[in-house]
Amino acid sequence: MAAGFGLLMAELFAPGFGVLGAAGFVCVFLGSFLLFPGSWIVGTGWLNLLYTVLIVVPLVIGGFFAFAAYKVFEARRRRPLELGFIGEEAEVEAEVAPGKDGFVVLRGELWKARSHKKIGRGERVRITGKDGPLLIVEPLEKGKETR
């Protein structure tokens, strides 16, 4: 069981696919059965209850961690949504000007924005690019707003 706990701790600090964690889980699971002898002072009913708990609890916890690992693996394979903003329209919340970053509201979220033209509060803008957490915007022409 000590080897199993050691492997579980190593999994916390090692990058990888969970091989150490799975091996640690198996070691703890098998070690828990070897911890108690077959013939003991306790009655057979209590031993059966103990073995049931030793089977059910690790399987439930292991199932949860397997599901969490699956979701993490699935999220890592997904493509970032970074380019999904380009072409969308937003509304200026705080004035955006050359050399002075402002703020725009996009999909109900407040984003920092930069532009090569001065854009006042309340005007509509189109997102033309993204630089990390900063949106690059340009003003919409008055006749081209699509609200």
Amino acid making up residue 2: A
Collapsing DSSP states into helix, strand and coil, what is residue 84? helix
* Secondary structure letter of residue 85 according to DSSP: G
* Fold of the CATH domain 83-144: OB fold (Dihydrolipoamide Acetyltransferase, E2P) (2.40.50)
Q: Is the pTM of this model over 0.85?
A: no
Q: Are 82 and 105 in contact (CB under 8 A)?
A: no
**35-84 pLDDT tens trace:** 776 666 777 787 788 888 888 888 888 888 888 888 888 888 876 665 57
pLDDT in tens, 93-122: 999 988 899 999 998 889 999 999 999 999
Using CB atoms within 10 Å of the CB of residue 31, give its burial: 0 to 12 exposed, 13 to 18 middle, 19+ buried. middle
Question: Hey, what amino acid is at 40?
Answer: W
φ, ψ of residue 103 in degrees (nearest 5): -130, 145
SS3 48: helix
Per-residue pLDDT, 104: 94
DSSP state of 99: T
Contact 28, 1 (CB under 8 A): yes
